[in-house]
Structure 1
């Protein structure tokens, strides 16, 4: 029988019970959607703790795959970018609050719900605490298009500043292409309202600091250019002390995911598991129902022999293996390939403009919607012959929930400026039945979420054993607020019968100080390409996944630096690595 197995893998975005945000902007606009972002992850007493914006609490896990939610009404859950670090063998949490002094909260027993407040002495935004090996503690903060990230040493017990903060990171879009605003670095895609420009500025947001110490070197990470963009990423500086001076790392951004099913990999945290393996958690964007409609991703990461920080994002939304010991980060991704892209799919009914073909186009930002809200609406996907399936991911969508969800009472809303918000962290049942078939006639159950009443928005089901499936069927039942069944993707992973694709050689052409165009020969045995670049042939850590094209403009480079690029081709049978080609720096004038 085909059925889901105990998790030994996971897939991004993480399958969390994301809280529902109900936001009203005056009498004119209302948005209802799930949200979580700005993840801060630590390992404390052999358990992982994940705090994220607008979640109403935190998640905890033993293995990074199965997460349980813990509500924290005693913490400031409406304050963005909660930071969590282990300071003096206790979990310390703080979050963004500019208009008044922001408090700190600590606990030796987070699962017991016992937190102690330490009143703050100043306001800040995107805070981050770091304790050095000598016990001294530092606070980094900043989230602005106008002012830099700053740093200061703070008292070990009260977290009050011991001196005046010093600026440590500012934007520089003239030399750092990845900090430029715009979808795919295209400034013409920016259409901000004049009032928004006045309030937020027109430059990139430099935000989300996170400090990691490795082999005596301090890696101060930060994010740019903005959370609603596919290019939202994390870069870093290095220094020999917690307060610098810091030097920009031209291998930035080290966490970048501008292509694939779900994009964005910014405002994150870098941490180790119990085996010493490094991981990087980051925000991933949807930004359709609301610009802050976001999810959480976790990626294998590490430091190479030269101390270069990197994160593995070539197949960052494909299955990721959880190691049971020390592992080479890149060995944890790419073992399962996507089988469902472009596959034939039918539906019992569809809302106009939301046809079933959208579940196989590899874009989380659009979705199929059933033509009614009745239980039993169904999708059926037919795979190519010869597919061996090892896992399936079901990605649900929130389609116009504001039309069916009752408005919250005013007393249950938080009011800030012109916005009213209520946060609903109570689990929402999203029942569906997932089945597989070898012949399209006889069906066996893979997963039935009607049995656990769980809130599954990006459910991932590894199979006990790989199965030679020909069809996959998904049936929805009564959805939250009586809304119609909506699915952004039904993603099937494993291996196909195709031989490995032909190798490609990318031809780079410099377009400017921070831009390069890479072209290659497109052949029909390939489903997609990973364009990789970096500072040396063995340091091609940055990656942009594309399909159905033979060129890509990469605008993420650092001016004055020589690069190498390679184009890898992939299909259901696996990946063929491309040969690295040198990219000379743009001539300085």
Structure 2
């Protein structure tokens, strides 16, 4: 009887543990919202869903997300589930890179502008209510008109504010920051909101400029190449100001070197005053993700959740239909006791837990669910032209499968190679000749995800549910782990002209042991101190590697994820890092990963 009682107790404990684990919510980048169809290229006949320049503000314990070229905004109470809100009034040509801030009672919204325009306010943003705070803000002191930039005199400033940021300090003073240029710096000034008026307190001041000759990550281009693929040199862009104050230190953040390519990142300067003087942070960039499915992390915002945890948002690059086709990411972020700000992008596009309380080690938010779908065999019910099914398992959002039709019942079936434990699935749609420029009742996605052990008998794993909405990057945490070999997408509806999927991403774990720790790790700094080369011995069975580096051996805050099949032949691997700051010492380490898990991290080595 005692044995039976113990068995019953153990069974109850397992069930309780499983229920508690399942109650936790996870998310994956790009975040799962109904990205809106874009108007930027309407004259060229191109339409696509996009999101960029995210601003998330907390207002009365809820979160509001604003972005570029959306016909409204989103609201969430948990940073996982987002509801789109149609506002009572909106700009005819939509908002670009807006600023937003809450004073606790009202939420303020300011779009980018080249000529004086409106500032909005709401005391009930959850309803969509949006009023004018200022119908037409006064022209900034010393500001020239568009087209007059080349005639600017000393003390004058360019048109704007473009890419604005609002900040309310603890003492009740308001500040405005802005700038988006590869010529001009970021600007800042004190302002006053009073009795429905915007008052400028003095003149705008120059905050700081880019210095790509010293800061490797500020160089433009793919992997900071310095320019376009054809060799054309491009001067980098600085944009996306955002202010955060923590423990008496002001962090004025900015995006660089440009939204195109994989190297877009967020950096910061620090000060003890909201208008400087500013000190460059040697541990920059603070948010950086050049490798993997989601590439790029620049131009966003930093927000604190209801548990006191910090998050940094940014704009990863998609670039399939047009250079500026983008999405939105969100990375857990910390402000260390010594003042360092950093965001964890390690496995930054794999599932992460949404914390239910304060978190000390943000890297532990990674669920440990590994990518099971990389380069797996796919069979499609139909294929249009050269857009074959294999493109939906290559972790490249710029390649995609297209079905011959978008009729219900089209399928895309993945063979995982063996029975594995599946815990989450992300379906990422592509816009191939979508032919849509505005929202309409038929712009929504519907589908079912099924699993099978033998490819013959299928069970439902997940499905889109009501209310209907568009889900270009639909993410499903399964209600229970599923032991399956095959995963099948069964189509229901898509709003665009074609059914196209750029990646069907499956997460979970395979049976077996984690890969071995990479050996023979070396890091050599080049003559150009902005660059370094990290080398290591390849690990048998590794799907890929995380190369991590930072200014302290116990705090490797930056990650470059690379897949093993991208590293060429031979027993040794190498990766070029081009994001270092001149005059700053670094340490590097490497870890390997596959479908079973992650290896031990190699001992940090100095980058010499």
Does residue 1:153 correspond to 2:190, yes or no?
A: yes
* Structure 1 gap segments, 5+ residues each: 406-421, 585-589
Does residue 1:567 correspond to 2:600, yes or no?
A: no
1:530 to 546, 562, 582: 546
2:62 to 44, 47, 53: 47
Does the 8 Å CA contact 2:525/2:532 hold for their aligned counterparts?
yes
How big is each residue's C-alpha offset from its partner over 1:388-425, in whole Å with a ceiling of 9 and x where there is no partner?
A: 111111111111123xx4xxxxxxxxxxxxxxxx6538
1:533: how far off? 0.8
Which residue of structure 2 lines up, in the alignment, with residue 18 of structure 1? 35
Does the 8 Å CA contact 2:88/2:128 hold for their aligned counterparts?
no
Which residue of structure 2 lines up, in the alignment, with residue 417 of structure 1? none
TM, length-normalised to structure 1: 0.90
Which residue of structure 2 lines up, in the alignment, with residue 484 of structure 1? 498
What RMSD, in angstroms, separates the aligned Cα atoms of the two structures?
1.9
Which residue of structure 1 lines up, in the alignment, with residue 529 of structure 2? 513
1:342: how far off? 1.6
SS in 2 for 1:184: helix
Does the 8 Å CA contact 1:533/1:563 hold for their aligned counterparts?
yes
Does residue 1:140 correspond to 2:177, yes or no?
A: yes
1:372: how far off? 3.1
1:25: how far off? 6.5
1:431: how far off? 2.0
Cα separation, 2, equivalents of 1:425 and 1:126: 29
Alignment of 1:322-471 (within 5 A): 322-328=354-360, 329-402=362-435, 405=436, 423-424=438-439, 428-449=443-464, 452-471=467-486
Which residue of structure 1 lines up, in the alignment, with residue 224 of structure 2? 185
Does the 8 Å CA contact 2:431/2:498 hold for their aligned counterparts?
no
Larger-gyration structure (1/2): 2
Alignment of 1:164-243 (within 5 A): 164-187=203-226, 189-191=228-230, 202-243=234-275
SS in 1 for 2:454: coil
1:523: how far off? 2.3
Higher relative contact order, chain-length normalized (CA < 8 Å, sep 6+): 1
Does the 8 Å CA contact 1:54/1:423 hold for their aligned counterparts?
no
Cα separation, 1, equivalents of 2:544 and 2:259: 26
Cα separation, 1, equivalents of 2:352 and 2:301: 18
Does residue 1:312 correspond to 2:344, yes or no?
A: yes
Does the 8 Å CA contact 1:39/1:296 hold for their aligned counterparts?
yes
1:451: how far off? 5.6
Q: Are the structure 2 counterparts of residues 52 and 225 from structure 1 closer, same or farther at C-alpha, using a change threshold of 3 Å?
A: same
Which residue of structure 1 lines up, in the alignment, with residue 137 of structure 2? 120
Number of aligned residues? 551
* Structure 2 gap segments, 5+ residues each: 1-21, 140-159, 568-572
How big is each residue's C-alpha offset from its partner over 1:334-391, in whole Å with a ceiling of 9 and x where there is no partner?
A: 4211111121211112123211111111111111111334332211111132411111
Q: Are the structure 2 counterparts of residues 347 and 88 from structure 1 closer, same or farther at C-alpha, using a change threshold of 3 Å?
A: closer
Does the 8 Å CA contact 1:55/1:425 hold for their aligned counterparts?
no
Which residue of structure 2 lines up, in the alignment, with residue 288 of structure 1? 320
Q: Are the structure 2 counterparts of residues 80 and 147 from structure 1 closer, same or farther at C-alpha, using a change threshold of 3 Å?
A: same
2:510 to 496, 506, 515: 496
SS in 1 for 2:315: strand
How big is each residue's C-alpha offset from its partner over 1:496-524, in whole Å with a ceiling of 9 and x where there is no partner?
A: 11311111143112222200011111122
How big is each residue's C-alpha offset from its partner over 1:290-330, in whole Å with a ceiling of 9 and x where there is no partner?
A: 12211111111111231210101011111110111111311
Does the 8 Å CA contact 1:19/1:426 hold for their aligned counterparts?
no
